[in-house]
A = this chain, B = another copy of it.
Amino acid sequence: MIRVLVNGMGVIGKRVALAVKKQDDMELVGISDAAFTGPIRTLLSERGELYGTKLYCSAPQFCDSMKEQGIVEGLLENFLKSGGVDVVVDASPKGIDAKNKEMYKKYGVRAIFQGGASAGIADVSFNSYTNYDEARGKQFVRVVSCNTTSLARTIGSLHKKYGVERAFVTLIRRATDPPKVKIGPINAIVPDLKVPSHHGPDLKTVLHGVDVFTMAVKVPETLTHIHVVEATLKKEITTEELLKTFNEHSRINVFSAGHGFGSNAEIIEAMRDLGRPRYDMPEVAVWKELTHAEGNKVYWMHAVHSESIVIPENIDAIRAMFELASQNESIEKTNKAMGIMKLNL
C-alpha cells in the first residue's frame, strides 16, 4: 500500500484525495493545506468524514492555533520528516509548488506536481496513455494540465494508430471555476496573448514527434473548455475510422448531438443524471457529428472538464512511479475504481 498525502485542497487536490481512497493499492494518509481557509475549512470542521483522513497544515505561522483547535495533527513538514508518506500529490498554487519541492527533496519523499507548474519542476511530464513508462522509478513527476491531457488522449490516440504530422488547435476556455465569482469576463471574449499558447509546447513534453500549434481565448462560461482541432495524419482515414479511434479510447466518450447532447451544458447534465460525484467528467467528450475526415486531414471538437480530467492521470502517475502496475493494468484499475466507462450517448 503506497502511502499518499495530498497537499493543497483546491479544485484538483480535493478530487485527488477522494480518488486515492477508492484505490486498493494506495492509502490516503493525510491531506494538507496552507491554512485550510474558506469553504474547505468549514466543510472539514462540520463534516470530518468528508475525506476520512488526518489533516496537516503547511504554513507554520497558522499551525499552532489550528493544532490547539484540534483541526490539524500538526505541521506537514514534521509528518514528512517522520517517514509516514511515500508520495505527495502536490496541488498547491503556482509558485508554492516549487518551494514545496525543496522540502520533498530534503526528506526524500516523492511527489507529483500539476500542470500549472513549469515542466522543469519534475524529472518528467506525464500522461497515462502517451508516456506512462517514462515515469517509472522517478522521484518527481508532473501531470500535464487539463487541456494538454485532453489533447494527449485525442491526438495521442490518432498518432499511435496512424501517425499525426501536425495539429492546429483552437482552445475555447471557460474563464474560471464555477465558484470563483470575482473572475470575469461577463460579456466579452479575451484572447490569450501568447502565440502559440503554452498548450502546444506543453503537449510535446508528453507526446513526442507531433508538431502542434495552439491558440486560445477565454469566454464567459464555467462548465468546460472546448477544443477545435484540425490534424494532418500520415495517411488518409475515413470519418468512421476517426470515430472508431475515439470510441476505442477508454477515457474518451463520444456524444451524439442528435441524441440531445448538442452542447457542453447538455453533456454536463448527463453527468448529473448519471450520478457522477460533483458532475465530474474525467473522460474527454467528443461530438459524433463534429468528427470529420477529408483526405489525410481530420477535424473534431471535444469538451474538457477541467476540474476532473487529470484526476485519473494523477492516480496512474503514482502507479507508474512506484512500478505498481503496467500501463494497461493501471488504466484499467483506475477506470474501474473511479467509475470511468464507455457511455454510448
**Chain A interface (Cβ within 8 Å of chain B)?**
14, 37-43, 46-47, 50, 168, 170, 172, 174-176, 178-191, 193, 195-196, 213, 215, 217, 219-224, 226, 228, 230, 256-257, 259-266, 268-270, 272-275, 277-279, 287, 289-292, 294, 297, 299, 301, 303, 343-345
A37, chain B: closest CB distance, angstroms = 8
A61, chain B: closest CB distance, angstroms = 20
Say which residue of B170, B186, B193, B344 sits within 8 Å of A170 (CB atoms).
B170
A225, chain B: closest CB distance, angstroms = 9
Give the complex CA separation of A304 and B47 in angstroms: 23
Give the complex CA separation of A324 and B70 in angstroms: 45
- Count chain B CB atoms within 10 A of each CB in A189, A262, A343, A344 and give the residue with the most: A189
Instruction: Please indicate the chain B residues that have their CB under 8 angstroms from the CB of A213 in the complex.
Output: 230, 294, 297, 299
A260, chain B: closest CB distance, angstroms = 3
Q: How many copies does the complex hold?
A: 4
Instruction: Please indicate the chain B residues that have their CB under 8 angstroms from the CB of A264 in the complex.
Output: 188-189
A39, chain B: closest CB distance, angstroms = 4
**In the complex, are the beta carbons of B222 and A186 less than 8 A apart?**
yes
Q: Which B-chain residue is minimally distant from A265 (CB atoms)?
A: B188
**In the complex, are the beta carbons of A345 and B220 less than 8 A apart?**
no
A-B contact pairs, 12 of them (CB 8 A): A170-B170, A172-B219, A179-B188, A179-B266, A188-B221, A188-B223, A188-B264, A191-B287, A195-B291, A213-B294, A275-B277, A275-B278
**In the complex, are the beta carbons of B195 and A188 less than 8 A apart?**
no
Instruction: Please indicate the chain B residues that have their CB under 8 angstroms from the CB of A174 in the complex.
Output: 189
Other than the given A188-B263, A189-B219, A217-B226, 19 more pairs (CB < 8 A) read A14-B273, A38-B260, A39-B266, A39-B270, A39-B273, A43-B345, A174-B189, A175-B184, A185-B186, A187-B221, A189-B226, A189-B263, A193-B287, A193-B290, A195-B290, A195-B291, A213-B294, A217-B301, A228-B228
Give the complex CA separation of A75 and B213 in angstroms: 48
Give the complex CA separation of A305 and B225 in angstroms: 24
- Count chain B CB atoms within 10 A of each CB in A50, A256, A260, A299 and give the residue with the most: A260
**In the complex, are the beta carbons of A184 and B180 less than 8 A apart?**
yes
**In the complex, are the beta carbons of B189 and A187 less than 8 A apart?**
no
A284, chain B: closest CB distance, angstroms = 15
Give the complex CA separation of A188 and B264 in angstroms: 6
Say which residue of B256, B266, B294 sits within 8 Å of A181 (CB atoms).
B266
Give the complex CA separation of A39 and B255 in angstroms: 10
